[in-house]
């Protein structure tokens, strides 16, 4: 098989989750439902935090950013998957594939950073409550999100440039529903040692590093909570962390599950199916976790829906020239 330079490659073929034609309608329906739930659920969280002045705090500022990133994360992959199933076409252009890979990496790593920043926010709120508003100043919160975004963008750019330097063989079929980094590297005919080295270093910096930060923050939080004499005080302090801990567990367990299943089975199909968990299912469940476990969010959503319910009849009664 003669390799061809990547500049000659014009398109790839996304094989999706299954080759069975009878399953395509089921996959399309599931993906469409999950995507709509993800978008509307996270939009409700964003609208609730904006509309309710009681939620104009650092914790909900980070939560609204996380919801926005989750919408963008799923929008990077799912619409193209739905379009390919609907048109019965598996084609994605070379430029489209590189762009999809870039944004999937960008929003995935940014999601990870935001979860770490939210853990730091809970650490400051519980362990240093008297200095909370000084440490978590609005400018400081904005800076944390900005640094996280710039770092994620640089990481995605480096990974994308590393892939663009590779040559690809005549076999351009990607056994996945989106252009995932590892699948792209495995498809190459070039020497991928440098790509693998960069990927392992990035995994240490942007996966292990943030997770270690989260564990450290919660070790301090647990230590502080155990020192609280009041049972009610312990419950109140812990209740503010339950939602975030649930999301962290869901994100890391599904991501780790993808790489464990991929390593254990060496099956690209099982890896792509497992990827659905952290690319689609986790962003979909985040709004439910925060709305069901958070009293402030539930109250804000009730106020938001009440305003819309009242506004509807009023608008109907208004007469326009």
Backbone phi, then psi, for 68, in 5-degree steps?
A: -65, -45
Per-residue model confidence (pLDDT) at position 5 = 43
DSSP category for residue 165: T
Instruction: Write the DSSP assignment of 226-250 as a string of letters.
Output: HT---HHHHHHHHHHHHHHHHHHHH
CATH number of 8-293: 1.20.1070.10
- Band of the pLDDT at 255, cuts 50, 70, 90? confident
Name the percent of the chain lying above pLDDT 90.
Answer: 49
Is residue 112 within 8 Å of residue 207, measured between CB atoms?
Answer: yes
Residue with tokens 């940014």: 110
Work out the angle at residue 175's Cα, subtended by the Cα atoms of residues 85 and 108, and round it to the nearest 5 degrees: 85
Most confident of 178-187, 286-295, 312-321: 178-187
Q: Where are the domains of the chain?
A: 8-293
Rounded mean pLDDT, 55-83: 95
The two tokens of residue 202 are 């990035």
- Band of the pLDDT at 262, cuts 50, 70, 90? low
Cα–Cα distance measured from residue 74 to residue 63, given in angstroms and rounded to the nearest whole number: 17
Per-residue model confidence (pLDDT) at position 8 = 65
Work out the angle at residue 282's Cα, subtended by the Cα atoms of residues 138 and 297, and round it to the nearest 5 degrees: 45
Helix, strand or coil, per DSSP, at residue 90? coil
Per-residue model confidence (pLDDT) at position 274 = 73
Query: Which tens digits make up the pLDDT trace of 237-254?
Result: 787 788 888 888 888 887
Q: pTM for this one?
A: 0.89
């Amino acid at each position: 098989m003669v390799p061809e330079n990547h500049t000659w490659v014009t398109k790839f073929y996304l094989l999706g989750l299954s080759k069975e034609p009878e399953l395509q309608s089921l996959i399309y329906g599931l993906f469409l439902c999950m995507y709509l739930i993800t978008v509307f659920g996270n939009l409700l969280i964003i609208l609730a935090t904006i509309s309710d002045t009681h939620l104009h705090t650092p914790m909900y500022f980070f939560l609204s950013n996380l919801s926005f990133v989750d919408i963008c994360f799923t929008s990077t992959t799912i619409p193209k998957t739905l379009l390919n199933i609907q048109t019965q076409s598996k084609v994605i252009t070379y430029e489209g594939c590189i762009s999809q890979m870039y944004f999937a990496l960008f929003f995935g790593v940014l999601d990870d950073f935001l979860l770490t920043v939210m853990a730091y926010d809970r650490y400051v709120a519980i362990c240093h409550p008297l200095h909370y508003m000084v440490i978590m100043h609005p400018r400081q919160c904005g800076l944390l999100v900005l640094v996280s975004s710039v770092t994620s963008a640089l990481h995605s750019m480096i990974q994308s440039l590393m892939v663009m330097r590779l040559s690809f063989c005549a076999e351009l079929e990607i056994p996945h529903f989106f252009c995932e980094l590892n699948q792209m590297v495995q498809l190459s005919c070039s020497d991928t040692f440098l790509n693998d080295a960069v990927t392992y270093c990035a995994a240490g910096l942007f996966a292990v590093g943030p997770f270690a930060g989260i564990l450290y923050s919660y070790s301090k939080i647990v230590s502080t909570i155990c020192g609280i004499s009041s049972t009610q005080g312990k419950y109140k302090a812990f209740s503010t962390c339950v939602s975030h801990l649930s999301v962290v567990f869901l994100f890391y367990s599904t991501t780790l599950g993808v790489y464990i299943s991929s390593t254990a089975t060496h099956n690209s199909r099982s890896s792509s199916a497992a990827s659905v968990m952290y690319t689609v299912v986790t962003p979909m469940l985040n709004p439910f976790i925060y709305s069901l476990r958070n009293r402030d969010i539930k109250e804000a959503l009730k106020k938001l829906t009440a305003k819309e319910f009242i506004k509807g009849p009023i608008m109907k009664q208004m007469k326009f020239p």
